[in-house]
Amino acid sequence: MPEMSTQEGERIAIETAIWLEALLFGGSAEELIKMSLTGRVRLVGTEVQITRLLEVLRDRLGFSEAALREVRGFVEDQVEIVTPGPQPAAGVLEPLPPILQAARHGSVTAIATTGRSSLLSLESFEGIPIVSMA
Amino acid sequence: MAQEIKIVSVSIPAGLVRELDRVCDLEHRNRSELYREALRQYLKLRRWQALREYSSAKAAAAGSDGIDIEKLIEELNA
């Protein structure tokens, strides 16, 4: 399983779960967030991912509205939000997961996931390596 | 629109100034740019640490309530 090693200025699409893992447990997920604080890497994501993260924090973990506003503000400061292109019509093709949409439209050089992500079995997407923050 | 700039005076140990000046030379930046960048990073890190503390407390409470956090992470991965 490939693990994360970043280069200066790298653009990285990150899985929503990395934010949750970083917030709750720290570890290597937090290290990636801290690298974005110092400008060593640029994080890329979609609005759908932020919304999903905030839903889990509010509905499952009981974050206050003030805390949710703070999380949103922080994430928006750290993540370059990309707008995915049109999705395939229902029944034609499965829509891409948000992280892969971010990767496709965000000119990224890597896709970072948690160690348990099912995406790791792909190894890469459209030539972009999928790496684990485990 | 140009940002309002305030000039402030702060005292910094001479050794630290020398170290920062070396970084200025290495990165071809002036003192003001470097100090602004250092302050921005400090404020971001402080903001992150506050979020971490709040989130860790919430995770501990959720764990006490029987919520499986690992499963939550897996759900977000799905």
B40 touches chain A (CB under 8 A): no
Report residue B8's pLDDT band, with 50, 70 and 90 as the boundaries.
very high
Report residue A1's pLDDT band, with 50, 70 and 90 as the boundaries.
very low
> What share of residues in chain B are helix, strand, coil (percent, to 5)?
75, 0, 25
Interface test with B, best of A8, A18, A20 (most B CBs within 10 A): A20
pLDDT in tens, B16-74: 999 999 999 999 999 999 999 999 999 999 999 999 999 999 999 988 888 888 888 88
Higher model confidence: residue A11 or residue A88? A11
B46 touches chain A (CB under 8 A): no
Predicted model pTM: 0.85
pLDDT at A56 over 90: yes
Q: What are the chain A neighbours of B62 within 8 Å (beta carbons)? A: 60-62
Q: Decide if B76 contacts A56 (C-beta within 8 A).
A: yes
β-strand pairing of A124-125 with A10-14: unpaired
Q: Taking the mean position of all CA atoms in its chain, how far away is CA B2? A: 24
% of chain A residues with pLDDT over 90: 63
B44 vs A26, A37, A70: nearest CB:
A37
**What sections of A2-131 are H helices per DSSP?**
16-25, 27-37, 47-59, 65-78, 98-105
- What is the model's pLDDT at position B24? 95
Length, in residues, of chain B: 78
Q: What are the chain A neighbours of B61 within 8 Å (beta carbons)? A: 62
- What is the model's pLDDT at position A87? 64
